[in-house]
Amino acid sequence: MSDPLPQRTQVAIVGAGPAGLVLAQLLARHDIDSVVLEAESRAYVEGRIRAGVLEQGTADLLVELGAGARLQREGQRHGGIELRFDRRSHRIDLSALTGGRAITVYGQQEVVKDLIAARLGAGGRILFEADAVGLENLDSERPAVRFRHGGVERSLAADVVAGCDGFHGICRAAIPSSRLRVFERVFPFAWLGILAQAPPTANELVYVNHERGFALHSMRSPALSRLYVQCGPTDAIADWPDDRVWAELRTRSAIAGPWQVNEGPVLEKVIAGMRSFVVEPMQYGRLYLAGDAAHIVPATGAKGLNLAVADVCVLARALAAFFGGGDRAPLERYSATCLERVWRAQRFSSWMTGLLHRFDDGDVGFAQKLQLAELDYVTRSTAAATTLAENYVGFPLPV
Ligand code: RFL
Ligand code: PHB
């Protein structure tokens, strides 16, 4: 790091999550200079447990970007998922239905660690504990990011600002509200998630529809399980002592034959709300939003991280055309190009969420019967299963 406190760059990237880090790595391939400003410490972002499922295209891209060696060693490639309902289990053969494509189970924090190592290893600039506090001159050719670092406020001048600062960041809020349209749906439930020191009970992910609510069995390694249960939207962690979590997991996941949830010490517990959210357009002047800063999907479809990566693929290509030959057209189309995939992922994530959760509004029994009929259809019809599979493994990235 030749200049730990840079004052000028071509692309100022706010946020060192998957969106910001992949963007920085992609830009370097085009010899475009960038600086990543991250509010939190390196240890914090490397320890933040979130997503676990990488689409085929995301895993391939990380390898291509030189950040995939550990993913190839430690990531688990899965060619199927299990749908469980009515005390029966059904496998959806993702690979057979998609011409050999698959997902990779590899923790988001591991992706973030690998990307940070690759970027810093290549001499890239990431400034941790650099809290962006304001964006300036967005509608000019000289935008800037004001940030606080080491107790001092500074300014980073750029040609373009990439708002990769997540749902609670400052970039989206810097766009005049009269220039944005917000689309939002908040689901009337949340997920309680645990990381447990216990070998995964199944080899593949298990998505469960049960009359008491949704459950999901995922994993992080051969020794670590990642498990979720649907809970109330206002539940607190204190409402969910470990015994209650395990009891719900056992009840909701039970099948007619012998099957047992592997239990172990709970290392982490979170509650995550479920919402769909999109702003249009995803750009204003010289500011381009990417990832959770622009859209949120309910986690049931495992699309959030993957969508963030798809956005920055579009952005990197557009910036290469801009800096390489002054072609502004791809940048002007940035939002429209991204939103096609965003809405396709919103549709799929809403559909998976509707298929698998308990909805307490209206006639609950009627809704459950419809879900069972649809699940039955998805597991019997190759056409329906293919629709699920091709969306779940993901469409090719716009690289
Ligand atoms: P991130 O990861 O939130 O990164 C944003 C970064 O910006 C920083 N930041 C700032 N930096 C400087 N100045 C400021 N003023 C700043 N404000 C914020 C933050 O500290 C942070 O480091 O956004 P990004 O890069 O867009 O990535 C999005 C993904 O993190 C997110 O979509 C996924 O985690 C969603 N998600 C899943 N996605 C998948 O693709 N597959 C999954 O299996 C999956 N499972 C999940 C999930 C999200 C979950 N939660 C916790 C909501 C499971 C869960 C439970
Ligand atoms: C996870 O492993 O954290 C995970 C897996 C699948 C999802 C959501 C989260 O749909």
Pocket residue to mutate for ligand 2, from 48, 49, 53, most atoms within 8 A of Cβ: 53
What is the whole-number distance in angstroms between the Cα of residue 233 and the centre of ligand 1? Answer: 20
Residue 399 within a domain: no
Residue 86 within a domain: no
Write 38-42 long-range contacts (CB < 8 A, 24+): 38/126, 38/127, 38/128, 38/129, 38/130, 39/15, 39/129, 39/130, 39/131, 39/132, 39/165, 40/16, 40/128, 40/129, 41/128, 41/129, 42/116, 42/126, 42/128
Beta carbon of 52 within 6 Å of any ligand 2 atom: yes
Beta carbon of 306 within 6 Å of any ligand 2 atom: no
* Atom 1 of ligand 2, nearest CA residue: 52
Q: Do 192 and 140 share a domain, yes or no? A: no
Q: What letter would DSSP give residue 173?
A: G
Q: Do 261 and 282 share a domain, yes or no? A: no
What is the amino acid identity at position 78?
H
Look up the domain containing 204 and give its range. 188-267+362-393
Determine phi and psi for 171, rounding to 5 degrees. -70, -50
Taking residue 327's Cβ as centre, other Cβ atoms within 10 Å add up to: 13
Residue 168 within a domain: yes
What is the whole-number distance in angstroms between the Cα of residue 322 and the centre of ligand 1? Answer: 28
Residue 332 within a domain: yes
Q: Do 41 and 118 share a domain, yes or no? A: yes
Q: Do 121 and 166 share a domain, yes or no? A: yes
Residue 91 within a domain: no
Half-sphere exposure of 395 (CA within 13 A, CB side): 12
Pocket residue to mutate for ligand 1, from 292, 349, 397, most atoms within 8 A of Cβ: 292
∠ CA(126), CA(66), CA(1), 5° rounding? 25
Ligand 1 atom with least separation from CA of 55 = 40
Q: What letter would DSSP give residue 135?
A: E
Beta carbon of 218 within 6 Å of any ligand 1 atom: no
Q: Do 57 and 135 share a domain, yes or no? A: yes
Q: Do 124 and 257 share a domain, yes or no? A: no
Beta carbon of 210 within 6 Å of any ligand 1 atom: no
Q: Do 66 and 133 share a domain, yes or no? A: yes
Q: Do 145 and 158 share a domain, yes or no? A: yes
Residue 389 near residue 55 (C-beta atoms within 8 A) = no
In the chain, what percentage of residues exceed pLDDT 70? 99
Instruction: Check which CATH number belongs to the domain holding 245 and give it.
Output: 3.30.9.10
CA R_g for the chain: 21
Q: Which residue has the tokens 């939003």?
A: 289
The structural domain count of the chain equals 2
Q: Do 224 and 291 share a domain, yes or no? A: no
What average pLDDT does the chain have?
A: 97
In this predicted structure, the answer to whether residue 376 has a pLDDT above a threshold of 80 is: yes
H/E segment holding residue 131:
strand 130-136
Beta carbon of 71 within 6 Å of any ligand 2 atom: no
In this predicted structure, the answer to whether residue 1 has a pLDDT above a threshold of 50 is: no
pTM: 0.97
Beta carbon of 279 within 6 Å of any ligand 2 atom: no
Each residue's pLDDT tens digit, 113-172: 999 999 999 999 999 999 999 999 999 999 999 999 999 999 999 999 999 999 999 999
